[in-house]
Amino acid sequence: MEPFKIHILGCGSALPTLRHNPSSQVVELRGKQFMIDCGEGTQTQMRRSRIGFNKIVAIFISHIHGDHCFGLIGMLSSFGLLGRTMPLAIYAPKDFKPVLDMLLATFCTDFDYEIQFHAVDTTKQQVVYEDRSLTVETIPLKHRVPTCGYLFREKPTLPHIRRDMIDFYGIPTSQINNIKNGASWTDEEGREVPNSRLTAPADPPRSYAYCSDTCYLPDLAARVSGVSCLYHESTYATPDIEKAQKYFHTTAAQAAQVARDAQVGRLLLGHYSSKYDNENVLLEEARQVFEASELSNEGMVVTL
């Protein structure tokens, strides 16, 4: 099974603290790396996590609040200083385009790589990126500005070859790909060996949903139903639910309700308010609703 990993670079909210950086993550699948959000300090966190700057294929920005994009222009500049030549795709709400253009014109005028901007519609769930390995969909969210999450879905893989059966029937290596794609085998005596005897089922496709920032949305569970892992903002604990409602954020218990109703594999909590010196209060209330809840933390690597 190819690695499918999520690198947590920042899981705090608007105010950086000595314990948490603003939002940023890197999703790694089959040798490619994709960044989600790029808060202040992301470059430093990439260094600490030993993530190669030139391996980032695309960057997905959820919304235009500083704690999700203040680190972007500095990182783009560093890409240029490091001699990047591979194009970089940026997916973000359309209103980010003039801001990005102004910053690039001011600070980054001599790049040797192309920046390809893709405006996303935050009101629709639709595929915005696709390659041979995966698709990335937008997830409509509700915040103070147009916001969407992103859903990474691994594409189905081919069945596993049963080496013992291949050896038993003396099947040449040249036929392996045909068998992986569904072919049977006819032995020297003309007897057909069905494909089901020569292969084992493929690994089930994995998926990861990133949802930050948003108020509680009961219908969100249907959009992320059955994902292997869900990252959902949990800015506040339930005693601060009025703040959550005022600023269009979610409590840890509400995030856990989404995870429970969606029947996800596991829940990662994040986007913590700086008011909490210890996020265990968030973890405890989430686990009362959905046991498979975890706290995200800088430097954490989640393997699906």
Active site amino acids: 67
Between CA 118 and CA 136 the distance in angstroms is: 13
Q: 99 near 66, Cβ under 8 Å?
A: no
Q: How far is CA 12 from the centre of its chain?
A: 17
Q: Between vectors from CA 288 to CA 282 and to CA 293, what angle results, nearest 5°?
A: 60
Paired tokens of 287:
């686990």
Paired tokens of 19:
């314990």
SS3 51: coil
DSSP E strand stretches across the chain: 4-10, 24-29, 32-38, 56-60, 88-93, 115-120, 127-130, 134-140, 148-154, 160-161, 185-186, 192-193, 199-200, 207-211, 229-233, 267-270, 293-295, 301-303
| Torsion 215-216-222-227 (CA) sign | positive
Residue holding tokens 């959902």? 232
Between CA 287 and CA 273 the distance in angstroms is: 19
Which string of b and e fits 246-283 if b means at least 16 CB within 10 Å?
Answer: ebbbbbbbbbbbbbbbbebbbbbbbbbbeebeebeebb
- Listed in sequence order, the residues at least 6 apart from 66 whose beta carbon sits closer than 8 Å to its beta carbon are 14, 22, 39, 40
Residue holding tokens 């068998």? 179
